[in-house]
């Protein structure tokens, strides 16, 4: 694409392929953020120049990492944008390998013959501002050459969207035929539809809300408190710490708290019940409070996901994006949620997950009740809670196909 500021992966300096598929061997890195010396993988890059956040912080330069699939047609009308969730990134589909710790997070939806058919559509997904997979974030070098770390500013969902808007302009796309995303991604879709209604012709939101609730803010607070309490966090400046000495304990606890909101209580009870892993329950009587209780199956499961995140993510990014979610209220300074959602006339497909305890269904129903462009509440039936958007491939694909159909002229 002949857009200024874009760099192909072929002219970007790469390092030996050491940043690749996720491994559980060795000590946990202080940060699993992608660095400029790492293999590029499938990323493309766009320099969008100076950027000032809602808080007034000025980045002298912001770089956006993104990936594309399919081809943009001559009229530029077949573009679809996917907004990733909190710990997602631009790697929607594709294998793990050099430059990518994990395989695509929504691979079942994007590709030839799939719900978003790349024989027809040009698909884009970018890592958000504040992310840790190539776009400017806390692990990125500041003008002095050191990682931004503790100096990285608080961001809003509006900031994330404005950077995506800059990328859209650089790609030469006047409007997206469809923009879709789950969770934090859905918040950005709503922000786009409210702030830039002429740039989005249709939307799909899944497991999200127009304004984060007190309950959700409280859950976010407890997660971030765990990271801040980890001495290895060092106020956000831990990037020079040796492997094994970063804030992985705090981020692991944060992930465990979050993961309980991502899955349903019914699923956890059915999978794990009160099972104690590898120990006779009678032996527990001999343990003391100075050591963790012999692990229940559920605690082992949570510990696994805590380690998995620490080996592929960054604590400062976790804080940055969680704060952006807590701050999200699409109606703030615009007359309120009822007013601004009531102005969304573009086709909007709203999807709930019936077992979602992080974003309960009444929050999606509110969107349907208020938005003229919404048809009805579509529901994914799942035992897996909020994570149903990652698990229930066939159901999610069916709703995406409906949204794609509504996006066609």
Per-residue HEC secondary structure of 321-380 comes to HHHHHHCCECCCCCCCHHHHHCCCCCCEEEEEECCCCCCCHHHHHHHHHHCCCEEEEEEE
Q: Catalytic annotation on 405?
A: no
At 8 the pLDDT is 32
If residue 154 lies in a helix (H) or strand (E), which one and from where to where? none
pLDDT tens by residue, 191-224: 999 999 999 999 999 999 999 999 999 999 999 9
Compute φ and ψ for 365, nearest 5 degrees.
-60, -35
Q: How confident is the model at residue 283, as a pLDDT?
A: 67
Show the low-confidence residues of the chain (pLDDT under 70): 1-18, 279-283, 285-286, 294
Respond yes or no: is residue 356 known to be catalytic. yes
pLDDT at 94: 97
Question: Among 38, 89, 356, 387, which one carries the catalytic annotation?
Answer: 356
**Residues linked to residue 200 through DSSP beta bridges, in sequence order:** 176
Residue 341, token pair as written in the block: 């959602």
DSSP code, position 338: H
pLDDT at residue 279, rounded to an integer: 63
DSSP state of 385: G
First-last CA distance in the chain: 24
The packing angle between helices 315-326 and 214-229, to 10°, is 160
- Residue from 140, 183, 264, 382 carrying the catalytic annotation: 183
According to DSSP, the residues that pair with 179 across neighbouring strands are 81, 203
Give the fold, CATH level 3, of 6-212+330-407.
Answer: Rossmann fold (3.40.50)
Residue 133 near residue 33 (C-beta atoms within 8 A): yes
Burial of 376 by CB count in 10 Å (0-12 exposed, 13-18 middle, 19+ buried)?
exposed
Q: Which of 100, 248, 384, 386 is catalytic?
A: 386
Class level of CATH domain 220-320:
mainly alpha
Query: To which residue do tokens 């990134």 refer?
Result: 89
How much is the pLDDT for 276? 85
Residues of the chain with CATH 1.10.1740.110: 220-320
Task: Enter the tokens of residue 29.
Answer: 């890195």
**CA 325/CA 319 separation, integer angstroms:** 10
Please give the pLDDT value at position 18: 60
- Tell me what pLDDT residue 32 has: 97
150 is catalytic: no
Dist. CA 78–CA 24, nearest whole Å: 40
> Around Cβ 351, how many Cβ atoms within 10 Å?
26
> What CA dihedral angle connects 348, 155, 184 and 336, to 10 degrees?
-40
Q: So what's the pLDDT on residue 1?
A: 37
SS3 205: strand
Query: Tens digits of per-residue pLDDT, 104-152?
Result: 999 999 999 999 999 999 999 999 999 999 999 999 999 999 999 999 9
Helix (H) or strand (E) holding 339: helix 337-341
Domain with CATH 3.40.50.1820 in the chain: 6-212+330-407
Helix axes 297-310, 265-272, angle to 10 degrees: 120
The residue among 196, 117, 187, 202 whose CA lies nearest residue 155 is 187
pTM flag (> 0.85): yes
Token digits for 234?
């060092």
Question: Measured between alpha carbons, how far is 370 from 368 in angstroms, rounded to an integer?
Answer: 6
Residue 171: partners with Cβ closer than 8 Å, 6 or more residues away: 1, 3, 6, 46, 72, 79, 124
Strands laid side by side in the 44-52 sheet: 6-7, 44-52, 58-69, 122-126, 79-82, 178-182, 203-206, 348-353, 374-380
């Amino acid at each position: 694409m002949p857009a200024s500021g874009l760099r192909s992966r072929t002219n970007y300096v790469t390092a030996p392929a050491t940043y690749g598929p996720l491994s559980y061997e060795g000590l946990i890195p202080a940060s699993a953020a992608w660095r400029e010396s790492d293999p590029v993988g499938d990323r493309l890059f766009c320099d969008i120049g100076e950027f000032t956040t809602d808080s007034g912080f000025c980045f002298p330069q912001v770089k956006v990492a993104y990936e594309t699939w399919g081809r943009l047609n001559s009229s530029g009308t077949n573009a679809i944008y996917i907004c990733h969730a909190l710990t997602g990134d631009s790697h929607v589909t594709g294998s793990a390998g050099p430059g990518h710790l994990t395989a695509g997070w929504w691979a079942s939806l994007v590709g030839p013959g799939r719900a978003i058919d790349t024989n027809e559509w040009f698909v884009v997904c970018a890592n958000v501002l504040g992310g840790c997979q190539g776009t400017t974030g806390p692990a990125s070098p500041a003008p002095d050459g050191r990682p931004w770390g503790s100096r990285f500013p608080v961001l809003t969902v509006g900031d994330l969207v404005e950077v995506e808007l800059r990328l859209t302009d650089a790609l030469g796309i006047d409007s997206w035929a469809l923009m879709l995303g789950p969770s934090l991604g859905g918040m950005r879709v709503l922000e786009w539809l409210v702030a830039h209604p002429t740039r989005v012709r249709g939307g799909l939101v899944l497991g999200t809300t127009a304004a984060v609730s007190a309950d959700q803010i409280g859950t976010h607070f407890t997660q971030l408190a765990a990271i801040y309490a980890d001495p290895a966090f060092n106020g956000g400046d831990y990037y020079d710490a040796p492997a094994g000495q970063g804030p992985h304990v705090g981020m692991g606890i944060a992930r465990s708290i979050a993961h309980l909101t991502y899955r349903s209580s019914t699923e956890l009870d059915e999978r794990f019940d009160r099972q104690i892993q590898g120990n006779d329950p009678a032996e527990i009587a001999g343990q003391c409070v100075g050591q963790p209780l012999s692990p229940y199956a559920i605690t082992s499961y949570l510990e696994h996901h805590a380690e998995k995140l620490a080996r592929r993510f960054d604590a400062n990014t976790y804080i940055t994006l969680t704060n952006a979610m807590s701050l999200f209220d699409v109606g703030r300074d615009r007359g309120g949620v009822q007013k601004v959602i009531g102005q969304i006339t573009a086709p909007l497909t709203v999807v709930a997950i019936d077992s979602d305890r992080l974003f309960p269904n009444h929050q999606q129903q509110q969107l349907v009740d208020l938005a003229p462009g919404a048809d009805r509440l579509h529901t994914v039936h799942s035992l897996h809670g909020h994570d149903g958007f990652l698990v229930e491939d066939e159901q999610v694909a069916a709703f995406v196909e409906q949204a794609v159909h509504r996006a066609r002229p």
